[in-house]
């Protein structure tokens, strides 16, 4: 028990929202030339930035580079004085975009060797064969759909959340992985499946940060609005809908003891949601608080 307490103190200390720049060794987001007909994750990432900047007027990224994306890219190129503004995403545009990107907030949890993933994995061939994407280090893999009760959809009516899941495990350096975009929810596979006995832990971003400014709201931007008695639901891969009710919300200081966020005190089924909160600190490149919403399964 003392070991667990020590682990979860470390957990909360290292839950932080941080911006990393290239001088700190961050890998580039964009590595390919993109043009009409291109598809994939880099197209989605490009579209997300163009949407956030007001250049591309679509609701969410599609992953397909079509005429609308080319036109939006041309407008962005003009705004940053890249010539010609042909809507071709080549070496100059990649370099400018990579230099200006601030990666999404991260939640680092050093749990390697303590918590093992509960999800069977298979290397991805680029074809979606499962129900959710798992990001493990720099390798993308997909979950085999075993109909084992893993979550596939979260809905929170009060704050208009209707989001899919990424399954997150542990990075090679022992940190907990989180969603790679501001739209999806992350289920930490080292915790219980939602609805099972114990505590399930899910994470999500509060905002996309650029230059210290929130330029686009994340899936949990309104999480602080939730109050005791509010409800949410998770659909699992068995087709079951598990309902939860909010018990309480707490703000945590980074140095606080977080044992209760990850460990259940009874035999019930619990779901705890973690995101960032508070004031952005330009010196530490971090929000100064962590918001945790505690919920209990409705029997």
Q: What is the pLDDT of residues 25-52, one digit of tens each?
A: 333 568 889 999 998 878 888 887 888 7
Q: Are residues 160 and 238 in the same domain?
A: yes
| CATH number for position 63 | 1.10.101.10
Strand-strand pairing, 241-252 and 231-236: antiparallel
Q: Tell me, what's the pLDDT at 83?
A: 86
Q: Tell me, what's the pLDDT at 212?
A: 66
Q: Are residues 224 and 150 in the same domain?
A: yes
Q: Are residues 170 and 205 in the same domain?
A: yes
Closest by CA to 38, choosing from 62, 72, 74, 71, is 62
**Which tens digit of pLDDT belongs to each residue from 81-101?**
988 888 999 999 988 887 776
Number of domains within the chain: 2
- Final residue in a domain of this structure, among 44, 75, 100: 100
Q: Are residues 153 and 13 in the same domain?
A: yes
Q: Are residues 55 and 182 in the same domain?
A: no
**Which tens digit of pLDDT belongs to each residue from 244-282?**
999 999 998 866 777 788 888 899 999 999 988 888 777
The most confident of the ranges 119-128, 232-241, 278-287 is: 232-241
Q: Are residues 283 and 204 in the same domain?
A: yes
Q: Are residues 183 and 256 in the same domain?
A: yes
Mean pLDDT of the chain: 74
Looking at per-residue pLDDT, the higher value among 133 and 128 belongs to 133
Q: Tell me, what's the pLDDT at 284?
A: 66
Q: Are residues 92 and 194 in the same domain?
A: no
**With contact defined as beta carbons under 8 Å apart, do 71 and 36 qualify?**
no
Average pLDDT for residues 283-291, to the nearest whole number? 76
Which residues touch 224 (CB under 8 Å, ≥6 apart)?
249, 277, 291
Residue 60 has pLDDT above 80, yes or no: no
Looking at per-residue pLDDT, the higher value among 276 and 5 belongs to 276
DSSP 37: T
- Final residue in a domain of this structure, among 61, 77, 100: 100
**With contact defined as beta carbons under 8 Å apart, do 17 and 106 qualify?**
yes
**DSSP codes of every residue in 160-223:** TEEEEEEEE-B-TTSPBP--SSSSSEEEETTSPPTTSSEEEEEE--SEEEETTEEEEE-TTTTG
* Cis omega (within 30 of 0) for bond into 126: no
Looking at per-residue pLDDT, the higher value among 71 and 118 belongs to 71
The most confident of the ranges 159-163, 214-218, 287-291 is: 159-163
Position 14 confidence tier, pLDDT thresholds 50, 70, 90: very low
**Cα angle 19, 103, 164; round to 5:** 125
Q: Tell me, what's the pLDDT at 11?
A: 45
Closest by CA to 181, choosing from 222, 221, 125, 219, is 219
Q: Return d(Cα 144, Cα 107) in angstroms, integer.
A: 25
Average pLDDT for residues 143-154, to the nearest whole number? 75
How many residues comprise the chain? 299
The distance from CA 196 to its chain's CA centroid, rounded to whole angstroms, is 22
Looking at per-residue pLDDT, the higher value among 68 and 281 belongs to 68
- Final residue in a domain of this structure, among 74, 100, 126: 100
**Cα angle 203, 293, 207; round to 5:** 45
Domain hosting 14: range is: 2-20+107-297
pTM recorded for the entire structure:
0.59
| CATH number for position 7 | 2.40.260.10
Q: Are residues 195 and 282 in the same domain?
A: yes
Closest by CA to 213, choosing from 54, 288, 292, 102, is 102
Q: Are residues 45 and 115 in the same domain?
A: no
The most confident of the ranges 136-150, 235-249, 253-267, 277-291 is: 235-249
Average pLDDT for residues 57-63, to the nearest whole number? 84
Q: Are residues 69 and 157 in the same domain?
A: no
Share of the chain above pLDDT 90, in %: 31
Q: Are residues 136 and 215 in the same domain?
A: yes
């Amino acid at each position: 028990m003392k070991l667990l307490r020590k682990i979860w103190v470390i957990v909360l200390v290292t839950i932080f929202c941080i911006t990393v720049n290239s001088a700190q060794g961050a890998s580039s987001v964009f590595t390919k030339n993109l043009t009409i007909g291109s598809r994939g994750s880099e197209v989605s990432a490009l579209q997300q930035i163009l949407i956030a900047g007001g250049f591309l007027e679509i609701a969410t990224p599609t992953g397909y580079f079509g005429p609308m994306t080319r036109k939006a890219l041309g407008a962005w190129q003009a705004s940053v004085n890249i010539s010609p503004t042909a809507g071709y995403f080549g070496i100059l545009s990649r370099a400018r975009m990579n230099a200006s990107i601030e990666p999404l907030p991260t939640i680092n949890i050093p749990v390697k060797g303590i918590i093992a993933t509960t999800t069977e994995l298979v290397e991805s061939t680029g074809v979606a064969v499962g129900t959710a994407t798992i990001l493990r280090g720099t390798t993308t893999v997909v979950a085999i759909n075993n109909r084992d009760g893993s979550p596939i959809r979260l809905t929170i009516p009060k704050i208009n959340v209707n989001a899919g899941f990424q399954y997150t495990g542990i990075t090679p350096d022992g940190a907990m992985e989180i969603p790679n975009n501001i739209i999806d929810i992350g289920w930490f596979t080292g915790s219980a499946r939602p609805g099972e006995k114990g505590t399930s832990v899910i994470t999500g971003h509060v905002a996309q940060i650029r230059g210290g400014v929130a330029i686009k709201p994340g899936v949990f931007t309104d999480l602080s609005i939730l109050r005791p008695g509010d409800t949410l639901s998770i659909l699992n891969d068995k087709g079951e809908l598990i309902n939860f009710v909010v018990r309480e919300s707490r703000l945590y200081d980074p140095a606080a003891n977080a044992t209760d966020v990850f460990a259940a005190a009874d035999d019930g089924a619990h779901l705890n949601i973690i995101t960032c909160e508070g004031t952005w600190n330009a010196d530490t490149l971090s929000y100064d608080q962590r918001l945790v919403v505690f919920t209990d399964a409705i029997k």
